[in-house]
C-alpha cells in the first residue's frame, strides 16, 4: 500500500513494508500456491499442475500497479491477480491453468493474505513490545527509591516513587502483549470456503484440503468459514487499538514531565532531533508527539471495524471492503507509536535532582496527608484534619515550609508535645520516607512482570 507523507511521518518503514501492495499480493499468491499443493495431495488436481502453479506464485513476475489499478474496476484485488496468475500458468503449461484457484473465492485469498501479513505485523509488535517493556522495567529497578511528585487532576498530589510510575507504564503494555498473543491465536485462521462458504466444489475433500493448506501456511484451521463472521478478527484489531491507547497514556505522561517548567524527563537528544524552525532553544518531545498522534487516530479506525461487522448474509457489500481499508492503517499507526516510545525510553534522560527540586518547591504541602494521619494517632482524625487545614493555610499565607509550621505548632502545644515524637514528625517530610511504600509495591509488581516477560 502507499501511504501519504504525513502517514509515513508517524510510523516506520518496516511496518509499512508489511502491508505494502507487493507484500499483500505475495501473501495472496502464497495462498494460491498452497491451495494447489493441498489439492494435489488430495488428488483433486494433478501434481504437475500444482508444481507449475506454485512456481508462478512469485510477485516479481507480475505488474503490481496494473493489478492494483484493475482491482478498482473488478471490485476485488483477487480477480485481476488470479487472472494474471492463470495467464502466467497457461504460458508455462496450458492444461494447468484450469486448476488455478479451484474451489476458492476472492475473499478466501484476500482474507488469508491479510492474515499472513498481519502475522508478520504482530511479530514486529511483539518484539518491539518486549524491548519497550524491558526498558521500562530496567529503569523501574534503577529508580525504585527515586522520589517524584505524583499528580492528580494535573496538580501536585503526593510524593511517589519514580519506579512505581515506570511500572505503571509497563503493566498495561505487558497486558497488551499477552492479549495480542491470545487474540492472534484465535484470529490468525485460514479462510477457505468457496463461493458461499460450503467448499462445495471440493466436495468431501474440502475439509482435508483446508487442514492441509492451514498446516502449510502455519495457520489455524477454522471451525468453518468466517466470510461474514468477523468477531475474532475484529477483536484482534481492537486489542491493537487498546495498545495504542496505553502508548498514548505513556506519551502523555512523558511529555508533561518533559515540559520546561517541570523538566524531570527529556527525550534522547541529537542533531536534528526535536528542533524548531524558529526557536533554536527548543527541544520538542517528538516521540511523544508521534505516539499521541497515533493514539488520537486509532479509535476512529477501531470504530470503523465495529461499525462494519453487520455484513450481509454470506458476503458483505461494502462493509468487508471498508474493514480491509482500515486494517493496515490501524497497525501502521499503532506500531509507529510503539516504535516511537521505545526510542524515547531507550534514551530517556532522567533528572532526579529536578524531581527533588519540584518536590521542595511545594514547601512540604504534599506531605500534609501523612502528617495528618500521624497526628490523628494522638488527637483523633477530625481534630488532626482541622489542625492541618489551619497549618497548611498558614504555611501558604506566610510562604513558609510546612515542616517548620507544624513543628512549631506541636512544640507550643503541651498536649501534642507529650504525644508526638518530633524526629518522627520531621521524618514524614523526607521524600525518601514518603516514597517507601510506593517503592515496595513497585518492586513486587516489577518482579511479577519480569517473570512474565522471561
| Angle, alpha carbons 163-166-169 (nearest 5°) | 155
Output the nine-digit C-alpha cell for 5.
507523507
Do residues 326 and 233 touch, judged by C-beta distance below 8 A?
Answer: no
Whether residue 211 lies in the annotated active site: no
Q: What is the 3-state secondary structure (H, E, C) of 190-244?
A: CCCCCCCCCCHHHHHHHHHHHHHHHHHHCCECCCCCCCCCCHHHHHHHHHHHHHH
Do residues 53 and 96 touch, judged by C-beta distance below 8 A?
Answer: yes
Do residues 180 and 232 touch, judged by C-beta distance below 8 A?
Answer: no
Unique residue bearing C-alpha cell 507449475: 52
CA dist 1 and 22 (Å) reads 8
Whether residue 276 lies in the annotated active site: yes
Selecting among 119, 175, 211, 315, the annotated active-site residue is 315
Do residues 189 and 222 touch, judged by C-beta distance below 8 A?
Answer: yes
Do residues 373 and 164 touch, judged by C-beta distance below 8 A?
Answer: no
Residue positions annotated with a catalytic role: 276, 315
Amino acid at each position: 500500500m502507499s501511504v501519504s507523507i504525513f502517514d509515513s511521518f508517524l510510523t516506520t518503514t518496516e511496518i509499512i513494508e508489511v502491508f505494502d501492495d507487493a507484500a499483500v499480493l505475495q501473501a495472496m499468491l502464497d495462498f494460491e500456491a498452497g491451495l494447489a499443493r493441498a489439492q494435489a495431495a488430495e488428488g483433486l488436481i494433478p501434481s504437475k499442475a500444482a508444481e507449475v502453479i506454485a512456481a508462478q506464485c512469485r510477485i516479481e513476475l507480475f505488474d503490481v500497479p496494473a493489478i492494483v489499478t484493475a482491482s478498482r474496476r473488478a471490485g476485488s484485488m483477487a480477480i485481476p491477480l488470479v487472472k494474471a496468475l492463470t495467464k502466467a500458468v497457461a504460458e508455462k503449461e496450458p492444461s494447468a491453468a484450469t486448476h488455478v484457484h479451484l474451489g476458492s473465492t476472492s475473499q478466501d485469498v484476500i482474507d488469508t493474505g491479510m492474515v499472513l501479513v498481519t502475522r508478520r505485523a504482530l511479530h514486529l509488535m511483539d518484539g518491539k513490545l518486549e524491548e519497550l517493556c524491558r526498558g521500562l522495567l530496567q529503569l523501574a529497578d534503577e529508580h525504585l527509591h527515586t522520589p517524584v511528585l505524583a499528580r492528580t487532576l494535573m496538580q501536585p498530589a503526593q510524593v511517589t516513587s519514580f519506579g512505581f510510575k515506570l511500572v505503571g507504564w509497563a503493566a498495561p503494555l505487558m497486558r497488551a502483549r499477552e492479549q495480542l498473543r491470545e487474540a492472534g491465536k484465535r484470529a490468525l485462521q485460514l479462510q477457505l470456503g468457496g463461493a458461499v462458504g460450503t467448499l462445495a466444489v471440493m466436495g468431501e475433500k474440502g475439509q482435508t484440503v483446508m487442514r492441509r493448506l492451514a498446516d502449510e501456511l502455519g495457520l489455524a484451521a477454522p471451525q468453518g468459514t468466517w466470510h461474514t463472521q468477523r468477531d475474532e478478527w475484529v477483536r484482534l484489531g481492537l486489542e491493537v487499538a487498546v495498545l495504542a491507547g496505553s502508548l498514548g497514556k505513556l506519551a502523555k505522561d512523558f511529555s508533561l514531565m518533559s515540559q520546561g517548567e517541570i523538566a524531570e524527563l527529556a527525550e534522547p537528544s541529537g542533531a536534528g532531533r526535536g528542533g524548531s524552525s524558529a526557536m533554536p532553544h527548543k527541544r520538542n518531545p517528538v516521540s511523544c508527539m508521534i505516539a499521541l498522534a497515533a493514539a488520537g487516530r486509532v479509535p476512529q479506525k477501531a470504530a470503523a471495524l465495529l461499525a462494519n461487522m453487520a455484513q450481509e448474509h454470506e458476503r458483505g457489500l461494502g462493509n468487508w471492503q471498508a474493514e480491509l481499508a482500515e486494517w493496515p492503517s490501524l497497525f501502521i499507526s499503532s506500531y509507529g507509536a510503539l516504535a516511537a516510545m521505545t526510542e524515547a525510553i531507550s534514551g530517556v534522560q532522567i533528572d532526579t535532582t529536578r524531581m527533588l527540586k519540584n518536590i521542595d518547591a511545594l514547601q512540604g504541602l504534599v506531605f500534609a496527608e501523612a502528617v495528618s494521619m500521624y497526628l490523628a494517632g494522638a488527637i483523633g482524625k477530625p481534630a488532626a484534619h482541622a489542625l492541618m487545614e489551619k497549618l497548611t493555610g498558614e504555611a501558604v499565607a506566610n510562604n513558609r515550609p510546612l515542616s517548620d509550621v507544624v513543628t512549631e505548632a506541636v512544640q507550643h502545644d503541651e498536649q501534642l508535645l507529650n504525644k508526638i515524637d518530633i524526629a518522627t514528625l520531621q521524618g514524614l517530610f523526607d521524600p525518601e520516607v514518603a516514597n517507601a511504600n510506593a517503592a515496595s509495591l513497585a518492586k513486587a509488581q516489577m518482579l511479577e512482570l519480569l517473570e512474565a516477560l522471561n
